[in-house]
Chains A and B, each alone.
Chain A
Amino acid sequence: GQQVMQIPQYQHVQEGEDFTTYCNSSTTLSNIQWYKQRPGGHPVFLIQLVKSGEVKKQKRLTFQFGEAKKNSSLHITATQTTDVGTYFCAGLALYDYKLSFGAGTTVTVRA
């Protein structure tokens, strides 16, 4: 079945630095979504990417969907303490109706 892999598993970042988390699917995706889960919280939708090569920005967050629609990345610039949490990508395979979540990247920030 479809597998979605995400790296790194953990990211320790100095406040103000940038970082990137990467997501790779074993199969071509129809779309990919990103969710953020704060410690002790539930996943909250951030964004959805649908088109090949699509790039979307939300303030300091930049999301990218690969040309082959098999990979995606989330880049955060000037990390803040409010960015702490686990970022999950979730892919929808072609001809499928269920999201497959990656293992998540857990971000901690050093002030």
Chain B
Amino acid sequence: EPEVTQTPSHQVTQMGQEVILRCVPISNHLYFYWYRQILGQKVEFLVSFYNNEISEKSEIFDDQFSVERPDGSNFTLKIRSTKLEDSAMYFCASSVVAGGDNEQFFGPGTRLTVL
């Protein structure tokens, strides 16, 4: 069964450093998403991406965040200068069709720890 993959599974970084979280969505999916889940809290939408551009973003997704699809398979989330409060689990998801109109498949997540 196809699945979304994410690397690394755990990333530890110093405050102020840049991190890049990587995701490989399911191959025939067209819509890609990043979510964040602070430990013990709810899943929060960050950004959605379609046709090589951001289609929607939340207030969390400020200028420190960027997304990119550098090639035909990878989808990345970059945090330019990490803050302590960026520590969370970051989930990538993908879907065949737009937004919440269809099942979203989540990857296993990357746990980001900012020291």
Contact = CB atoms under 8 A, between A and B. Distances in A.
A32 B9 CA distance: 29
A103 B41 contact: yes
A88 interface: yes
Interface stretch (A14-22, A52-60, A63-71, A89-97): A89-97
A97 B98 contact: yes
Contacts of A92: 99-101
Given A42-B108, A88-B42, A96 B103 contact: no
A1 B87 CA distance: 25
Contacts of A98: 45, 48, 56, 58, 99-100
A102 B42 contact: yes
A43 B98 contact: no
B3 to A, nearest CB: 10
A97 B43 contact: no
B64 interface: no
B91 A42 contact: yes
B44 interface: yes
Interface string B32-75: 00010000011111001000000110100000000000000000
Contacts of B58: 98
Contact of A33 (B48, B103, B107): B103
